[in-house]
Amino acid sequence: MKIIVVIPARYGSSRFVGKVLAKETGKYLVQHTYERALCAKTVDQALIATDDQRVMDACDEFGGACVMTSIAHQSGTDRIAEAIADISADVVVNLQADEPEIDPNYIDQVAGLLADNPDAGMATLLAPFENTEDVANPNIVKCITDVDGRAIYFSRSVIPYDRESGGVGDRGNYKRHLGIYAYRKPFLMAYTARQPSFLEQTEKLEQLRAIENGYTILTGSG
């Protein structure tokens, strides 16, 4: 099984323009993430997908594999689909560029979910909350699953809403999304061929395109 990690690195971040090229440590932010990806045991290749020549030049500087993609993509997943369209791969891992301290085991773990479940097309990781206050933070995405670990929904809102507690209940009942995905390549190409969905555009969460179109997302514990 050939596993490729693709790191979408858009220069014009809405919160911090040029964030992927921040260099406070002496290395670019995207460089740290790229190097962490290569530490994963099962990964055959890592690739950065950008929309800006400045990111391409930085990658050339530190020797990172990088491809140029359209500036029109609305999500990292769409950018990844263009980047790997002509590359042979079984599983594609979507790793956000601003994850310089990502545990490489997470990459192996999310790819392993697809290796262990040959009928699944997409997988992601969840983790418990470390403090109750974060459950209500809209910048931290929550996920609820069925009893078999398949995602039911992702939201910036508190899910599930605990009626008796007026919102947030026992912290142990909540799961936060780690923001790393794995896809089988045929699934990725079919998924990104669909138009951005209503839920995706409303919550600004690209994985909701899969949920809204009836696809299954497997989850594991990070």
Region of 204 on the Ramachandran plot (φ > 0 left; ψ -120 to 50 alpha; else beta): left
Q: Is the peptide bond before 160 cis (omega within 30 degrees of 0)?
A: yes
CB atoms within 10 A of CB 155: 19
pLDDT tens, position by position, 89-126: 999 999 999 999 999 999 999 999 999 999 999 999 99
Name the one residue in this structure whose structure tokens are 């594991």. 220
Calpha distance 181→65 (Å, rounded): 20
Domains of the chain (ranges, CATH numbers):
3-221 (3.90.550.10)
pLDDT tens, position by position, 152-205: 999 999 999 999 999 999 999 999 999 899 999 999 999 999 999 999 999 999
Average pLDDT over residues 28-49: 96
CB of 115 closer than 8 Å to CB of 138: no
Calpha distance 48→59 (Å, rounded): 8
Rounded percentage of the chain residues whose pLDDT exceeds 90: 91
Of residues 16, 126, 10, the one with CA closest to residue 79: 10
User: Considering the chain, what is the average pLDDT of its residues?
Assistant: 94
Average pLDDT over residues 142-147: 97
